[in-house]
């Protein structure tokens, strides 16, 4: 597909919005019904002649199912139906999914083992009222006239459930989905072309000229705020006949750009990537990411296209939207999109779909937001796990990086993933180059602290004298220190006190974790077990300790050693935040800049469970270095570890070169694909289902592990099964099979996640 730019893109946008791409040839179609409770396979329907010009792939339609009206999305033509088909009822105008986005949605569903209705609902406007009916042929005695809009609840109360079903079957009422209407507010509108004589009314003239500069129509409250005028001035303008006051829907919350024209060192690379198209990874220091994003946005809007930028959190979305408003040339618009917008989110959705906003900055909830003229999809901090929805949270359980790349392929737009420490799933993926993800020239950090690694082997202390002395000198000199300590979950890796070696699984190369119900070490990947009190395989010592220390303990020890109060910042607690020394979790502490950053237990991350421990540790050290103006001090029992050396010297390439072969040899992403299936229920039921029904039914090339107990869930007993294959869709199909197996087995439930960040 050739990407349209400039005037061609604008014409394409108008064509989509006005329905010019409607296919007049569909006589029968396959429809995916959007039923919340369960997913049906696509059903076939006949398209009445009166609807054929309005039905195409992606159209949102109203279709019958067992006498009830249901919403559905047209997947494509049904060329040879094998039976007589029911007619579609209607087409929901203006609520369709663009055909290219529909293609990406189907890929997401197949690759993440997510039902297609779930994915499609994420590509439709939020807050659709699917319980609104229009009366088409009222019966005598009904309290409604033809054309009245009535809720499903009101129809049920008046007609009863059977009466409503009968009315639907007879076509007397028709499901008519709609998005929530905008609140109406007062607007000031310039009246006529004649200039009023305002020579003796300077304040009125100033307000009138401002209104003309803003297009001649503006909500009255916004106009008065922007112009710094009082309401009496506006009323006088209305009395003179210069403006009229009218009630109109509230405009969407779009930010008009302020006219920033200063271009920096990122322009050439951004323009080259936008012009070439495809998918790119761009290593940029955290503090420079906003400028790199601005350069991409300038290149995209310069071509007449739209840019969708995904950030990991609502706060970063708002910051970046404000930055882009200042950085982009005049004549463009920027909008934020996240769950905190309430009803404004539907307005931004519609503005993006119609091409009325040029740059949208959103959370993962915006990953499937339709664009009229897509030019670029960008991810800020691509490595951040917040780009993926966890069970129970909004969004689909697939990383926004994968959604963006799928959309880029389907919609012909460039995809640029920015991060100072990109995920190896992207950076080390096979088939990089012309047919895969390419690299833009990396930008090294311009400032880097002095890094000191303290060897803690043979020491039973929590804090070394080196760390305490560094902290004391800093505080005595008027500086501030941030101390990073991340809490651990129930399971913990163990390391040898003498040599620092970590007990690892011989099959999976994952750290063995302490199990809650036995004095044994268990692999979370394959279930391999070893005795906890066995001697260290490296040096024979029996002095093994769990890796990891808690925030409170470090705070107490530092406060005692320094003889002064120490602050605390975590997601749940904030105490003495202005203290000279503050202890907290990485996400909280590293949001600020410090004279020194101290990491007293990097081993908790370095040797923690999961396949991404090395990546997490590299990012922790790198981000700590970015936050340290002068000194970064790290305590560890494995000072020669390649992760620490590479991160301390800002050498991502050497880290990737060392870590990728380990991932390849162990069969982990990006060299294979995984799915975790957590099965809850009686042990005999779970094990029997896995051995007798799941394992024999898997296709070739898909491996399945033995069930591994899941500790600390707080609910019914659970076991985790790991599926593995080089084919992502094969893994997704296997995971879907496991979910169906659990659904069909009494007393058993399943939670699945394809290509999880951790196992």
Q: Please, which pLDDT band fits residue 534 given cuts at 50, 70 and 90?
A: confident
Residue 434, both tokens: 């012309």
DSSP symbol at 286? G
290 and 414, same domain (yes or no): yes
Q: Is the pLDDT of residue 228 over 50?
A: yes
Residue 271, both tokens: 């323009």
Lowest-confidence segment of 164-168, 308-312, 439-443, 629-633 by average pLDDT:
164-168
CA distances from 569 to 64, 474, 632 (A): 56, 20, 19
**Cα-trace Rg, the chain:** 30
Residue in 247, 195, 194, 239 with CA at minimum distance from that of residue 217:
247
Q: Give me the pLDDT at residue 636, please.
A: 92
Q: Is the pLDDT of residue 207 over 70?
A: yes
Total Cβ atoms within 10 A of residue 489: 11
687 and 644, same domain (yes or no): no
Q: Would you call 168 exposed, middle or buried from its count of C-beta atoms within 10 A (0-12, 13-18, 19+)?
A: buried
Whichever domain contains 641, its CATH number is 3.40.50.300
689/686 Cα distance (integer angstroms): 5
Lowest-confidence segment of 290-294, 301-305, 492-496, 737-741 by average pLDDT:
492-496
Q: Give me the pLDDT at residue 17, please.
A: 45
In the chain, the percentage of residues whose pLDDT exceeds 90 is 56
Total Cβ atoms within 10 A of residue 365: 23
Strand-pair partners of 450? 631
307 and 291, same domain (yes or no): yes
Residue scoring higher pLDDT (431 or 376):
376
What's the distance, CA 248 to chain centroid?
34
**Average pLDDT value over all residues in the chain:** 86
Residue scoring higher pLDDT (178 or 519):
178
Mean pLDDT (whole number) for 609-620: 87
Mean pLDDT (whole number) for 470-482: 93
12/1 Cα distance (integer angstroms): 14
Sequence-distant (6+) residues with CB within 8 A of 197 are none
In a domain, 169, yes or no: no
pTM summary value:
0.85
Total Cβ atoms within 10 A of residue 322: 16
20 and 53, same domain (yes or no): yes
Q: Please, which pLDDT band fits residue 23 given cuts at 50, 70 and 90?
A: low
- Buried-exposed string 611-640: b where 16+ CB fall within 10 A, e elsewhere: bbbbbbbbbbbbbbbbbbeebbbbbbbbbe
Q: Which long-range contacts (CB under 8 A, 24 or more apart) does 491-494 make?
A: 491/515, 491/516, 491/524, 491/609, 491/711, 491/712, 492/546, 492/547, 492/548, 492/608, 493/546, 493/547, 493/548, 493/607, 493/608, 493/609, 494/521, 494/532, 494/544, 494/545, 494/546, 494/547
Residue scoring higher pLDDT (430 or 455):
455
CA distances from 95 to 19, 58, 65 (A): 11, 9, 21
Mean pLDDT (whole number) for 544-558: 75
Whichever domain contains 196, its CATH number is 1.10.10
Hey, CA dihedral for 68, 71, 75, 79, is it positive or negative?
positive
431 and 349, same domain (yes or no): yes
The model's pLDDT over 399-434, given as tens digits with 9 standing for 90+, comes to 999 999 999 999 999 999 999 999 999 998 866 554
In a domain, 114, yes or no: yes
Rounded to 5 degrees, φ, ψ at 197 are: -85, 100
In a domain, 727, yes or no: yes
348 within 8 A of 336, measured Cβ to Cβ = yes
434 and 401, same domain (yes or no): yes
Q: Give me the pLDDT at residue 615, please.
A: 92
Sequence-distant (6+) residues with CB within 8 A of 70 are 33, 34, 35, 62, 63, 64, 175
In a domain, 200, yes or no: yes
Q: Which domain holds residue 368?
A: 256-440
Sheet holding 333-337, edge to edge: 255-256, 333-337, 359-362, 306-310, 374-380, 414-419, 279-283, 437-440
The model's pLDDT over 239-268, given as tens digits with 9 standing for 90+, comes to 998 999 999 988 888 988 988 766 788 999
Strand-pair partners of 709? 719
193 and 308, same domain (yes or no): no
Whichever domain contains 100, its CATH number is 3.40.1440.60
Whichever domain contains 713, its CATH number is 3.30.70.2690
CA distances from 758 to 50, 588, 607, 674, 754 (A): 52, 22, 14, 10, 10
Mean pLDDT (whole number) for 300-316: 95
Residue scoring higher pLDDT (509 or 655):
655
In a domain, 529, yes or no: no
Angle in degrees, CA 509, 511, 517, rounded to 5 = 130
Q: Give me the pLDDT at residue 377, please.
A: 98
Residue in 713, 530, 502 with CA at minimum distance from that of residue 608:
502
Strand-pair partners of 496? 544
The model's pLDDT over 61-108, given as tens digits with 9 standing for 90+, comes to 999 998 888 999 999 999 888 789 999 999 988 889 999 999 999 999
In a domain, 99, yes or no: yes
Q: Would you call 387 exposed, middle or buried from its count of C-beta atoms within 10 A (0-12, 13-18, 19+)?
A: buried
Residue 109, both tokens: 């569903």
In a domain, 480, yes or no: yes
For the chain, the 3-state helix, strand and coil shares in percent, each to the nearest 5, are: 35, 25, 40
Mean pLDDT (whole number) for 333-359: 93
Q: Give me the pLDDT at residue 673, please.
A: 92
415 within 8 A of 405, measured Cβ to Cβ = yes
Q: Is the pLDDT of residue 329 over 90?
A: yes
Q: 647, 665, 683: which is the final residue of a domain?
A: 665
458 and 551, same domain (yes or no): yes
Q: 209, 228, 251: which is the final residue of a domain?
A: 251
Lowest-confidence segment of 236-245, 362-371, 433-442, 561-570 by average pLDDT:
433-442
242 and 279, same domain (yes or no): no
132/119 Cα distance (integer angstroms): 23
How many domains are contained in the chain? 5
Q: To the nearest 10°, report the CA torsion of 275, 281, 285, 287.
A: 60
Residue scoring higher pLDDT (223 or 545):
223
Q: Is the pLDDT of residue 21 over 50?
A: no
307 and 423, same domain (yes or no): yes
301 and 321, same domain (yes or no): yes
Q: Is the pLDDT of residue 526 over 70?
A: no
In a domain, 581, yes or no: yes
Q: 615, 634, 665: which is the final residue of a domain?
A: 665
Tokens 């996400």 correspond to 587
Q: Please, which pLDDT band fits residue 517 given cuts at 50, 70 and 90?
A: very low
| DSSP states of 196-263 | P--TT-HHHHHHHHHHHHTTSEEEHHHHHHHHT--HHHHHHHHHHTSEEEEEEEPPP-PEEP------
Q: Give me the pLDDT at residue 666, please.
A: 86
Q: Is the pLDDT of residue 8 over 60?
A: no
Q: Is the pLDDT of residue 518 over 70?
A: no
Range from 9-23, 252-266, 673-687 that averages highest in pLDDT: 673-687
Q: Could you tell me if residue 576 is left (phi over 0), alpha (psi between -120 and 50 degrees) or otherwise beta?
A: left
Q: Is the pLDDT of residue 305 over 90?
A: yes
92/533 Cα distance (integer angstroms): 67
734/540 Cα distance (integer angstroms): 42
| DSSP states of 420-447 | SS--HHHHT-TT-STTSEEEEPP---S-
Cis? peptide before 670, omega within 30° of 0: yes
Q: Is the pLDDT of residue 4 over 60?
A: no
Residue 544, both tokens: 């093994």
Q: Give me the pLDDT at residue 498, please.
A: 63
Rounded to 5 degrees, φ, ψ at 154 are: -65, -40
DSSP symbol at 628? E
620 and 678, same domain (yes or no): no
């Amino acid at each position: 597909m050739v990407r349209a730019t400039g005037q061609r893109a604008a014409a394409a946008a108008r064509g989509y919005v006005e329905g010019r791409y409607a296919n007049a040839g569909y006589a029968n179609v396959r429809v995916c019904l959007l039923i919340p409770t369960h997913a049906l396979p696509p059903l076939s329907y006949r398209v009445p002649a009166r609807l054929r010009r309005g039905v195409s792939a992606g159209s949102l339609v109203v279709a019958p199912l067992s006498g009830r009206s249901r919403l559905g999305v047209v997947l494509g033509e049904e060329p040879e139906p094998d039976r007589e088909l029911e007619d579609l009822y209607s087409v929901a105008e203006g609520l369709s999914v663009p055909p290219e986005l529909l293609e990406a949605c189907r890929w997401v569903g197949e690759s993440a083992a997510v039902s297609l209705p779930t994915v499609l609902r994420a590509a439709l406007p939020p807050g659709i009222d699917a319980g609104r009916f229009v009366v088409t042929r009222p019966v005598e005695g009904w309290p409604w006239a033809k054309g009245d809009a009535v809720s499903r609840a009101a129809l049920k109360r008046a007609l009863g459930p059977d009466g409503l079903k009968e009315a639907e079957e007879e076509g007397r009422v028709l499901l008519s989905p709609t998005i929530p209407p905008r609140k109406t507010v007062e607007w000031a509108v310039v009246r006529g072309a004649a200039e009023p004589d305002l020579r003796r009314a300077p304040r009125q003239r100033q307000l009138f000229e401002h209104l003309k500069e803003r297009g001649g129509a503006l909500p009255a409250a916004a106009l008065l705020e922007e112009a710094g005028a009082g309401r009496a001035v506006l009323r006088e303008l209305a009395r003179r006949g210069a403006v009229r006051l009218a009630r109109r829907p509230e405009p969407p919350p779009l930010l008009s750009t302020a006219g920033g024209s200063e271009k920096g060192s990122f322009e050439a690379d951004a323009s080259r990537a936008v012009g070439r198209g495809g998918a790119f990874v761009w290593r940029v220091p955290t503090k420079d990411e906003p400028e790199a994003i601005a350069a991409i946005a300038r290149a995209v809007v310069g071509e007449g296209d739209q840019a969708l930028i995904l950030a990991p959190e609502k706060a970063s979305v708002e910051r970046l939207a404000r930055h882009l408003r200042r950085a982009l040339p005049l004549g463009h618009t920027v909008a934020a999109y996240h769950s905190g917008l309430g009803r404004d989110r539907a307005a931004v959705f519609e503005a993006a779909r119609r091409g009325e906003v040029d740059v949208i900055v959103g959370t993962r909830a915006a990953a499937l937001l339709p664009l009229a003229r897509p030019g670029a999809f960008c991810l800020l901090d691509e490595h951040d796990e917040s780009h993926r929805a966890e069970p129970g949270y909004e969004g689909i359980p697939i990383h926004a990086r994968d959604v963006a790349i799928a959309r880029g392929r389907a919609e012909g737009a460039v995809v640029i993933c920015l991060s100072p420490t990109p995920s190896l799933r992207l950076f080390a993926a096979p088939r990089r180059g012309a047919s895969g993800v390419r690299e833009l020239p990396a930008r090294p950090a311009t400032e880097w602290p002095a890094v000191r690694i303290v060897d803690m082997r043979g020491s039973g202390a929590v804090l070394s004298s080196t760390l305490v002395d560094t902290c004391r000198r800093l505080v005595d000199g008027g500086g501030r220190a941030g101390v990073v300590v991340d809490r651990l979950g129930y399971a913990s890796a163990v390391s040898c006190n003498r040599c620092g070696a970590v007990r690892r699984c011989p099959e999976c190369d994952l750290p063995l974790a302490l199990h809650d119900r036995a004095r044994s070490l268990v692999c979370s990947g394959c279930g391999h077990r070893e005795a906890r009190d066995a001697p260290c395989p490296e040096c024979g010592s029996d002095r093994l300790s769990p890796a990891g220390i808690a925030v409170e303990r470090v705070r107490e020890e530092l406060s005692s050693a320094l003889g002064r109060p120490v602050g605390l910042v975590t997601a749940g607690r904030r105490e003495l935040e202005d203290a000279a020394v503050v202890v907290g979790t990485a996400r909280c502490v590293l949001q600020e800049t410090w004279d020194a950053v101290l990491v007293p237990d990097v081993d908790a991350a370095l040797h923690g469970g999961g396949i991404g421990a090395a990546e997490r540790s590299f990012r922790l050290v790198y981000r700590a270095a970015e936050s340290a103006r002068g000194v970064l001090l790290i305590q560890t029992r494995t000072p020669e570890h390649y992760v620490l050396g590479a991160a301390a010297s800002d050498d991502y390439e050497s880290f990737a070169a060392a870590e990728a072969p380990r991932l390849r040899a162990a069969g982990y992403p990006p060299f294979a694909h995984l799915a975790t299936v957590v099965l809850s229920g009686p042990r005999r039921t779970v094990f029997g289902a896995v051995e007798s029904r799941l394992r024999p039914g898997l296709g070739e090339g898909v491996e399945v592990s033995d069930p591994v107990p899941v500790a600390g869930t707080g609910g019914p007993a659970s076991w985790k099964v790991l599926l593995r294959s080089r084919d992502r869709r094969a893994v997704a199909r296997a995971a879907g099979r496991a979910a169906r197996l659990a659904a069909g087995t009494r007393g058993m439930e399943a939670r699945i996640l394809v290509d999880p960040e951790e196992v």
